[in-house]
Every structure is written in structure tokens, then in C-alpha cells.
Amino acid sequence: MYKEMDKKYVLNTYPRNYVNFKQGSNATLFDDKGRDYIDFTAGIGVTSVGHGNARLANAIAEQASNLIHTSNLYLIEPQAKLAKKIAELYGEDVGTFFANSGAEANEGAIKLARKYGEKNFENKRYKVITLAHSFHGRTITTVKATGQKSFHKPDFSPYPDGFSYEQNIKDIYGSVNDETVAVMIELVQGEGGVQPFDKKDVQKLAAFLKEKDVLFIVDEVQTGVYRSGEFLATNLYGIKPDIITLAKGLAGGVPIGAVLTTHKDLFEVGDHGSTFGGNFLSTRAGLEVLNILESYKNSGELDESFIYFDSKLKEFALAYPKMFDEVVGLGLMRGLRCFDCVDLSKLIDSAFKEGVLVLKAGRNTLRFLPPLTITKNEINEGFKRLKNAFNKVN
């Protein structure tokens, strides 16, 4: 019934599975028939503290019953608190602008970079270099910032000017010129195949960009908020970018985006804005998520889950040596690169039938983005079901 309703009234932009989820508990989802599923996707890296998290739900409910929104024309207490918390956890003196999504955060980052290019150079610099396998969002500008050619469909042209792509980090050096205002990369490419870059390569690039006065933008929409093991992957890589963007896991599923920058005076009043961005609801949720994850990290539980997931993932990959070439990623952003790939979608369908949700990235990567609070039992059960699924299709 709801399937027909959805098909009739909702625009058809997603390859949608018509399971009707009703409830969730940490990394477990329940559908309308009472079936349970282990969730290795966390809503594509969003439900960082799990489904049905009581602390988050209470914080949201309490906030909602007082105030949801007043606009950015007035002080928003949880917004100020969340911005302060972000700066403290990151450990740098950054200011934050709040948006509603990853793409919007990246738009904000690009605007900020262009302002830098206008203000600081006689001949305005405005060009942004990104990587070929990157993903930066779905708005018309962030689609153009995304390096994967398949996203630049002629259907939506013309696209904004000022973006170019390089295959690898080492190719960036030769392409920076006096029109380049910024380089934007993900430290671990998510949609592009769960591909982490080498720490030394990234640090070398950061030093080069600083020397050339070219801004370094790090898209941490997927890697941010403890997914890498540290608050930011930037912390893990030991770099200090000019601009960092966050979104997915930041408010546990309440829409939010954030632009962090050390250039705190670049945007002036009126330069940028958002009606919903940073409202009471989303920033209160963000604050609770950060409080939960901070203590989870400090107690050692987060690192323990990472080690356990890693061991189970490797054990699983080893059980199918003909299928999987490599275990990739870091923290709880992981992938299995399969060689001679059979239809990954078929595997994902079979996994669904066995009651475990997994994702695909790039052409040949089976992707795992579980809630950061996933338990050992849930990890065990998920891999058990995944084995059953694989045995059925192989």
C-alpha cells in the first residue's frame, strides 16, 4: 500500500528498497513485519549514536517542547555551545557556520574560499582543484566540485565555472597556478571507494598549499565526528586545514551541516546565511551527539569497537579469498574491495534478505558505515548473516 503511495507521490530519484522500518535500537532495525536487521550503514554514516538513542531522543524532545526555531537574527544558545564544543574537540581556534547538509556546507566552504581569493589577490583567484574520485554533494556547484565524471550529466548544464580535477594528490602540485584559490579533498574518499590517503602525502600537500597561499579545504562530511577514530580525520592526519566541512554524523540524523574555519573574520555580516541552519533543534541534537561520543571515545569503548569490527571484517574477507582483494578504510568507515567483482548489488540484496544492511561504494567496494556505538553482539550477528548471504549467492 505505502509502496504504491510512494511511487505515485514521491519523485523517483532513488533506487528504493520498499522495506518499511518502524523502529530501531542501536545498530538493529525492525520492520513492520517484526523482522530485524543489523544496520551496517547507519543511514549512510549519519546515525552515529545508533537508532533510538535515549539520550539523544530526550535531548531532542526536551528542546522541541521549548523551542525549535527562532531564526539566526537572535542568539541561539545551543548553536554557540555546539560551535564551542567543535573548536574544543578539534583543538584549534575555529569559527563555525551552520548549514543543513553536506552539500550546503561545501557550498559555504567554496564561497568562503572565493571571498579569500577576492580579498587577498590583485587578480581574483577563484579556481578550486578537487580529485577525480571525489564526492562533494548534489547541488549544482557541488556536483561540479565532485570529480567523478558520471555526476556531470549534460542534463543539468551549464555548471558553474572554476573547478578542475586531478587523478591523485601528487598531480595537484603541477596544476596549482595563480588562479587557484583552494584545493578540496576528502582524507578518506567515501563514495569514491573508501580510499584513505597516505598521511605523509597529505601533510606534504598541506605544507605546499600553505607556502603557495592556496587554501586547503577538507571535506569531512563523512569522515568527521569520530568516524575515523578521532574527532576529525584532520586530527588523525595531523594537519591544520583552512576550512573543514562536517554534516552526516554530527547530529545523529537531524539535518545539519557545518563549515569550520580558522579564517574567522573572512565572512562579514550578510555574506552568507541560512534560514534553518544552526537552529535550536539541530544544534541541541549535535551537542548531545558530541557529548555522547566524547565520553564513548574517552572511556576506550570506541577504540575497542573499531578493533573488534576490524578483526571481524578481516576474518570475513579471509573466508572469501577468491572474492575480496583488499580490506580498506579506517575507523568505522570500511570497505572490502572485490576483484573480479560479481554483481555487488546482488550480494547486497542477498544480505538484505538475510537481515543485514550493507552499502556499495565506487564500482567494486562493499562498504560498511555502522553506528559508532555498535555492540560486539551486533557485529557478530551482522557478519554471521553476511556469511549466510554470501554462501547463497556463491
Ligand X SMILES: *Cc1c(COP(=O)(O)O)cnc(C)c1O
Nearer to ligand X, 185 or 389 (CB): 185
What is the spatial distance between Cα 35 and Cα 12, in angstroms, rounded to a whole number? 26
Residue labelled with grid coordinates 576550512:
243
Nearer to ligand X, 239 or 317 (CB): 239
Nearer to ligand X, 187 or 344 (CB): 187
Nearer to ligand X, 39 or 107 (CB): 107
150: its cell numbers: 558520471
Q: How far is the CB of 319 from ligand X (least distance, A)?
A: 29
Total count of residues recorded for the chain: 394
Name which of 190, 160, 185 is nearest 171 in CA terms. Answer: 185
Q: At what angle do helices 344-354 and 376-393 cross, to 10 degrees?
A: 120
Nearer to ligand X, 63 or 141 (CB): 141
Sign of CA dihedral 343, 347, 348, 350: positive
Q: How far is the CB of 105 from ligand X (least distance, A)?
A: 8
Q: How far is the CB of 329 from ligand X (least distance, A)?
A: 13
Residue nearest to ligand X (CB): 102
CB contact at 8 A, 99 and 320: no
Q: At what angle do helices 280-298 and 77-90 cross, to 10 degrees?
A: 30
Nearer to ligand X, 53 or 142 (CB): 142
For residue 376, the tally of other CB atoms under 10 A from its CB is 12
Instruction: Give me the residues that bind ligand X (CB under 6 A), please.
Output: 101-103, 106, 135-138, 186, 190-191, 219, 221-222, 247-248
Q: How far is the CB of 212 from ligand X (least distance, A)?
A: 24
190: its cell numbers: 567515501
Q: How far is the CB of 370 from ligand X (least distance, A)?
A: 16
- Longest alpha-carbon distance in the chain: 65
